[in-house]
Amino acid sequence: MFISDEVLRIVHLVAHYQSIATAAEQLNKVPSALSYTIKKLEESLGVELFERKGRNIGLTPSGEYFIQHSKPILNDIDSLCRNTTLIHTGVEQELTVAFNNIVPKNIISEFISEFEKTFDFTQLTVNTEVYNGCWDAIYHNRADVVVGAPHSVPSSDGIISEHVGYMDWDFVVGPQHSLATHIHPLENRELRQYTAVCIRDTATNFIPLYAWHLEGQKAVFVPDLEIAISLIKRNTAIGYLPHHLARPLLNNGRLIKKSMLEHKHATQLFVAAKTDGLGEAGRWCLEYWLRPDIKFRLNG
């Protein structure tokens, strides 16, 4: 029995979105084409991979096994194609760089501009990850290079990494928040009554973490720092922000910095890359983010 990599990718995409229509939209195909592909595969295997769950579809136990054991095959195919091209040219045809969401956006734009000037024929994709999602991306093939991965390297197996500095944090509230006028260092027991704003960790294979969330405290989870800042300014929630984002808002009085009895430590940041298939463009990325002037600005 022959199963093409295209069929595998369709099955994985449908499983990810739990929707044939959404997967079809991502592939620029009509849903009926994907339904037919899945039906033919199920007939060939003699098992059902999916089952209907209301308006969505979910994996059967056989489908879960298929997804789990076909993922390494897809990864091997991608590595084969990538490394074959790399051996011929020495330069990656495609490169995906993932950035921690706390990395200043202006230096990401500058990096992209410099990359485009240097590599005319490499397709660059830039993604954003949150917290452990940074490490998840590099270890589970969502990225070739990650910038600003936090805390410590989970494992050096197949990964090269370099420490690039620390990111400082400020605990902030809105100017009209009831905590704004408190002059003493705030304690956790008095903070638990207020809603914390959290950016949801993008990790799917690692334990998700959050910048700040007390046990027993209500939290609102949002997709990015822009919304988090808006909620804090509206006095809807409280929380920590990277110092480089909080600084201008503190200076113009739109946010108030508060002293904490147990203040959040600075986050250690790393740049990392997969050793397998690392070509000229990937090595250039590592060298770029290790430049002293770039490291200084990376830390806000």
pLDDT at residue 237 greater than cutoff 60: yes
Q: Could you read off the pLDDT of 158-174 as tens digits, one per residue?
A: 899 999 999 999 999 99
What pLDDT is stored for residue 92 in this prediction? 86
Of the candidate ranges 153-162, 194-203, 260-269, the one whose mean pLDDT is the lowest: 153-162
Give me the DSSP letters along the chain.
----HHHHHHHHHHHHHT-HHHHHHHHT--HHHHHHHHHHHHHHHTS--EEEETTEEEE-HHHHHHHHHHHHHHHHHHHHHHHHHHHHHSS-SEEEEEEETTS-HHHHHHHHHHHHHH-SS-EEEEEEE-TTHHHHHHHTTS-SEEEEEES--S--TTEEEEEEEEE-EEEEE-TTSTTTT--SPB-HHHHTTSPEEEEPP--SSS----S---TT--EEEESSHHHHHHHHHTTS-BEEEEHHHHHHHHHTTSSEE--BTTPPPPEEEEEEEESTT--HHHHHHHHHHTSHHHHHHHT-
- For the entire predicted model, the pTM comes to 0.73
pLDDT at residue 285 greater than cutoff 70: yes
Residues above pLDDT 70, as percent of the chain: 97
Domains of the chain: 3-67 (1.10.10.10), 90-165+267-297 (3.40.190.10), 168-255 (3.40.190.290)
What pLDDT is stored for residue 88 in this prediction? 61
Q: What is the mean predicted confidence (pLDDT) over 229-237?
A: 97
Residues above pLDDT 90, as percent of the chain: 63
Q: What is the mean predicted confidence (pLDDT) over 66-86?
A: 80
Q: What is the mean predicted confidence (pLDDT) over 61-80?
A: 86
Q: Could you read off the pLDDT of 14-54 as tens digits, one per residue?
A: 998 898 889 888 888 998 999 999 999 888 889 999 998 77
Supply the mean pLDDT for the chain: 91
What pLDDT is stored for residue 86 in this prediction? 60
Confidence bin at 288 (pLDDT 50/70/90): very high
pLDDT at residue 72 greater than cutoff 90: no
Confidence bin at 3 (pLDDT 50/70/90): confident
Q: Three-class SS string for 237-272?
A: CEEEEEHHHHHHHHHCCCCEECCECCCCCCEEEEEE
pLDDT at residue 240 greater than cutoff 90: yes
Among 159, 175, 183, 186, smallest CA distance to 277 is for 159
264 versus 90: the higher-pLDDT residue is 264
CA–centroid distance for 119 within its chain: 24
What pLDDT is stored for residue 152 in this prediction? 85
pLDDT at residue 232 greater than cutoff 90: yes
What pLDDT is stored for residue 145 in this prediction? 96
Q: Could you read off the pLDDT of 79-129 as tens digits, one per residue?
A: 777 667 665 667 788 899 999 999 999 999 999 999 999 998 889 999 999
pLDDT at residue 57 greater than cutoff 60: yes
